[in-house]
Amino acid sequence: MELIISLIAGALGGNGAGAVLKNLSLGPLGNSIVGILGGGLGSQLLAMLGAGGMAGAGGADLASIIGSIASGGVGGGVLLAIVGAIRSAMAK
C-alpha cells in the first residue's frame, strides 16, 4: 500500500515541480510519468536507509503513510528537475 501511495505522490510531485519550474516541464503526461518513477525510486531509497514507511513491519500507520507521501512527492519532483535539466541541456 505504501508503494501505491508513493507512486501517486510522485505523480503529484512531478506535476507540482513542472508547474513551478516551467522551463523544465515535460508536459502533463511527461511530468506524471517521470514523477511516478521518481516517487518509486524515492520510496525505495528511503526504505533502504531504514527511514521509509516500507521498512516497517508492514503496518499502515500514520507515520508510514506520511513518509510515503513525502518520499514520493520529493522523489518525483527531484527526478523531474534532473530529467528536465538534461533535456534542456541537450536541446542547446
Higher pLDDT, 64 or 83: 83
The model's pTM: 0.81
Task: Please tell me the predicted confidence (pLDDT) of residue 51.
Answer: 64
> Does residue 14 fall inside a structural domain?
yes
Greatest alpha-carbon pair distance for the chain in Å reads 48
- Helices and strands in the chain, H and E counts: 3, 0
What residues make up the domain containing 77?
Answer: 2-46+61-91
Dihedral Cα 5, 6, 11, 13, nearest 10 deg: 120
Task: Please tell me the predicted confidence (pLDDT) of residue 54.
Answer: 47
> Does residue 54 fall inside a structural domain?
no
The tens digit of pLDDT for each residue in 1-52 reads 888 989 999 999 999 999 998 998 999 999 999 999 999 998 888 878 876 5
Looking at residue 58, its amino acid is G
Count of domains observed in the chain: 1
